[in-house]
Amino acid sequence: MQEIAELAAVLKKFQATKIAVEAAYGQDVVPKRYADHLAGARPLARNEVEQIGFRLAKDLGHSAIYPVDADGDFPFQRVINYAKATGQSARLERTLGEIGEMVKAKGEYLKAHTVLETLLYMNSDAKVAQDVGFYYQEARYGEPGDYAGPDLLAEWYRRNVRIYNNVAKLVRAPEDRVLVIFGAGHRGWLRHDFAADPTLRLRKLEDFAPAARGGTIPVVAK
């Protein structure tokens, strides 16, 4: 609880006017849960949407929380099938093994560091670039007639640019500041989208905790 409070104190410095979370756009399940929490009828569940999103929104006096996730396909089986058909299964397995080691390393890092330190590490430029790089390794599986890997990457990008669209629509005034709380796999793609929008200013977690170094992407209007 102390570590969550430490993270919340850092995020509060951003002074978000809205908090966007990884839940299906347009659904009312998460907003209703937040309303129930505000009314004292529901304790916080053990997930980042509620432990971080709900907690911070309540502390900041927000009356609502905003689901912004978008539907998307992730045709990884096509990549597996292509690798098998072209004798590249062992190579793909090595790549997946590296991803597994990366996930394990993240878990070990969390054991030895606070939640804030872990999120700062996960949101560091070097870590984000490394994670994006794995998607591009998968994009190399394909050829004319079966662009399995490139199509996988394109579908993932499409989902993320749709999420960007949902978030951008929340910025309706110059003073709007939107905190985006999403899973690690979205970091690099959403950062790219927000940074490329000339009407928005991307802020990173480390901007508010420079001494320490996550899933959180603050976005403000310029």
Per-residue pLDDT of 62-114, as tens digits, reads 999 999 999 989 999 999 999 999 999 999 999 999 989 988 988 888 889 99
| Separation of alpha carbons 192 and 210, rounded Å | 21
Residue that is last in its domain, among 153, 168, 194: 153
Per-residue pLDDT of 123-139, as tens digits, reads 999 999 989 999 999 99
Question: Considering only 38-52, 107-121, 208-222, which range has the smallest mean pLDDT?
Answer: 208-222
User: Are 95 and 148 in the same domain?
Assistant: yes
User: Are 192 and 88 in the same domain?
Assistant: no
**Rounded mean pLDDT of the chain?**
92
| Separation of alpha carbons 207 and 23, rounded Å | 26
Residue that is last in its domain, among 101, 134, 153: 153
Handedness of CA 170, 171, 177, 183 (dihedral sign): positive
Per-residue pLDDT of 82-92, as tens digits, reads 999 999 999 99
Residue that is last in its domain, among 127, 153, 179: 153
> Is residue 91 within a helix (H) or strand (E), and if so which, with residue range?
helix 89-112
Quote the domain boundaries for residue 86.
76-153
pLDDT band at residue 42, thresholds of 50, 70 and 90? very high
| Separation of alpha carbons 122 and 206, rounded Å | 11
Total domains in the chain come to 2
Per-residue pLDDT of 167-217, as tens digits, reads 999 999 999 999 999 998 999 999 999 999 999 999 999 999 866 544 555
Parallel/antiparallel/unpaired status of strands 66-69 and 18-24: parallel
